[in-house]
Amino acid sequence: MTERSIIFFDIDGTLLNHEKKLPPSTKEAIFKLKELGHEVAIATGRAPFMYQELRKELAIDTFVSYNGQYVVVNGEVLYTNPLKTSSLEKLTEFALHNEHPVVYMDHEDMKANVPEHHYINESIGTLKINQIPTHDPHYYKERALYQSLLFCRVGEEKQYEQQFDDFDFIRWHPFSVDILPKGGSKAKGIEAIVEKLGFSKKNQYAFGDGLNDIEMLSSVTNSVAMGNGEEEVKRAAKYVTKSVEDDGILHGLQMVGLL
């Protein structure tokens, strides 16, 4: 048997195909990794409540949520990095002036600062989670929030980037941008997990396809970009596998010698 390793998988466009389905070859590969004694984890921009069923299906209880801001190991919260409330309040005021909706997200739920907006419905609808945020404009005042969503057209986020130094902005949909604590990333969340579990750099692997995976793929020693990923993402990775639609996870695991 090869040495025990830890493998982090992004969800959308990596574990799940573009129909938000888990390819049979991917599921089989995940359980084969477990049989071989490897640790399997998820690293996603999604909220924990957005992929409970997937974690259950794959028997995974170690994960990085919100692009690194909410990290769980073996079912226990290990690390959190919430947004700065005062800065989020100022951003909300600016967004309202621009008629750009904002959604606030903690580890259990998400709430919008407007009753309804087609940008929210269309972008979150692509995740196929059967959940749209309900209205609560004061949700950010009462709890720790680990990510927010700003809804605006491509390019309009530039004015926010210039004004709000406490946040990073990462676009994931033509109508939506992730708002993260400055410097927060999947790589930071992974760092906390591997330190806790004691995996050496050579026994760390990561698979991803999106712009929010770039720092993860750049920092994890054995990084694999999906064939369906953007060119910038592929350049950040050590390896490039086939598309998620073409058994990309299985092929990539075979390519790096884990299967």
Q: What's the pLDDT score for residue 231?
A: 96
Q: What is the pTM of this model?
A: 0.92
Question: What would the mean pLDDT of 209-220 be, rounded to a whole number?
Answer: 95
Question: What would the mean pLDDT of 140-148 be, rounded to a whole number?
Answer: 94
| 10 is annotated as an active-site residue | yes
CB 29 within 8 A of CB 249: yes
- pLDDT-based confidence at 2, cuts 50/70/90? low
The fold of 85-181 is 3.30.1240
Q: Which of 10, 178, 209, 247 is catalytic?
A: 10
Question: What would the mean pLDDT of 73-77 be, rounded to a whole number?
Answer: 97
Measured distance CA(238)–CA(6) in Å, rounded = 16
Question: Across-strand partners of 80?
Answer: 70
Query: So where are the chain's domains?
Result: 6-80+184-255, 85-181
- H or E element at residue 43: strand 39-43
Q: What's the pLDDT score for residue 234?
A: 98
Measured distance CA(49)–CA(162) in Å, rounded = 31
Q: What is the average pLDDT value for the chain, to the nearest integer?
A: 96
Contact partners, residue 245, CB within 8 Å, separation at least 6: 17, 18, 23, 228
CB 146 within 8 A of CB 69: yes
CATH of domain 6-80+184-255: 3.40.50.1000
Reply yes or no on whether the pLDDT at 9 is more than 90.
yes
Residue 203 phi/psi, 5° resolution?
A: -105, 25
- pLDDT-based confidence at 142, cuts 50/70/90? confident
